[in-house]
Amino acid sequence: MPNLGVAAIVLFCLTPFYWMVATTLRPPNQQFDNSLIPRSVSPENLIAVFDPSVGFHRALLNSFLVAGITTALTLVIGTTTAYALARLTFRGKKIVLAAIIATVMFPGISLIVPLLKLFTDIGWINTYQAMIVPYLSFALPLTVWLLTTFFKQMPFDLEQAAQADGCTPGQAFRKVILPIALPGMFTAAVLTFIMAWNEFIIALTIVNRPKMQTVTVAISQFTGAQQFELPFGTQMAAGVVVTIPLVLLVLICRRRIIAGLTAGGVK
């Protein structure tokens, strides 16, 4: 009986994703066909997604740039900040840490009003930076939190030993501390990339020029290449295309991500 329950849960988790792939691979004239295994397989839906009139490749490029730059900046800023918080003692440190972590709980939608006003005033509407800056503010708290716990676990003697051996504090950080913190940084980078790649509300409200849209917004407004029909097949193909990068990313580095997450977060 428990096995039956678990089997049902597994089915619940896997069927929708399988169906997405199966619908993508069906030729358009069979798209409402409910046979469990597609009768015939064709790449037509995938080709339709990349039809130049849809502009989907531009959206993909936008998403890659925005998510990539966000990840890089988050790592640089987050690592130095986390190191500062882990190693420095100053009055009000707890409050600073609490304030930063509380930002994780700010729903993006509650910030969208001032952001939209601000970006309109400084002419940032329809730009990459108008997405990257808010994403930084969502990604940094988690990164800082993950990495602070990481740095705290490292004994202070590591740097002291390095400095006794003639390293400057900067060198001690780069050559001794950073290599040990790599798993944590790696996890933070993957999580940040996923967050930025999937973000929707800000990308939806700050950008209104189709050329600057990210894939999340492009997908939500996806009506497919052909008009006057339900473009199931093309929609699902678009879904598959945007999911593949993340699946690959996690497939390759699953072990490291979980190690970094639990080592930093739980202890």
> In the window 75-114, what residues touch another protein (CB under 8 A)?
77-78, 80-81, 83-85, 87-88, 90, 96, 99-100, 102-114
The one segment of 43-51, 53-61, 121-129, 236-244 that binds another protein by CB under 8 A: 236-244
Minimum CB distance to another protein, residue 209 (Å): 17
DSSP annotation of 40 reads S
Cβ nearer to another protein, comparing 68 with 265: 265
Q: Which of 181, 183, 266, 217 is nearest to 58 (CA)?
A: 217
Instruction: Identify residues 181-200 at the interface with another protein (CB under 8 A).
Output: 194, 197-198, 200
Is residue 120 a contact point for another protein (CB under 8 A)? Answer: no
Angle at 57 between CA 48 and CA 204, to 5 degrees: 105
Residues binding another protein: number (CB under 8 A): 88
Q: Kindly state the tokens that stand for 88.
A: 């420095």
Is residue 210 a contact point for another protein (CB under 8 A)? Answer: no
The one segment of 48-56, 123-131, 176-184, 231-239 that binds another protein by CB under 8 A: 231-239
What residues contact residue 198 under an 8 Å CB cut-off, 6+ apart? Answer: 216
Kindly tell me which residue out of 43, 129, 156, 174 binds another protein, with binding defined by CB under 8 A: 156
Instruction: Identify residues 4-43 at the interface with another protein (CB under 8 A).
Output: 5-6, 9-10, 12-17, 19-20, 23, 32, 34
Distance between the two ends of the chain, CA-based, in angstroms?
36
Is residue 50 a contact point for another protein (CB under 8 A)? Answer: no
| CA 72 distance to own-chain centroid | 12
The one segment of 37-45, 123-131, 181-189, 254-262 that binds another protein by CB under 8 A: 254-262
| CA 10 distance to own-chain centroid | 25
The one segment of 37-45, 64-72, 180-188, 247-255 that binds another protein by CB under 8 A: 247-255
Kindly tell me which residue out of 25, 71, 75, 134 binds another protein, with binding defined by CB under 8 A: 134
Q: Measured between alpha carbons, how far is 30 from 33 in angstroms, rounded to an integer?
A: 5
Q: Measured between alpha carbons, how far is 235 from 46 in angstroms, rounded to an integer?
A: 10
Alpha helices in 35-55 (DSSP H): 44-49
Kindly tell me which residue out of 136, 147, 172, 225 binds another protein, with binding defined by CB under 8 A: 136
DSSP annotation of 218 reads H
Is residue 167 a contact point for another protein (CB under 8 A)? Answer: no
The one segment of 37-45, 64-72, 123-131, 243-251 that binds another protein by CB under 8 A: 243-251
Cβ nearer to another protein, comparing 42 with 111: 111
The angle, 0 to 180 degrees and rounded to 10, between the axes of the packed helices 178-198 and 129-153 is 150
Whether the CB-CB separation of 196 and 70 falls below 8 Å is answered with yes
Q: Measured between alpha carbons, how far is 201 from 189 in angstroms, rounded to an integer?
A: 21
Is residue 219 a contact point for another protein (CB under 8 A)? Answer: yes
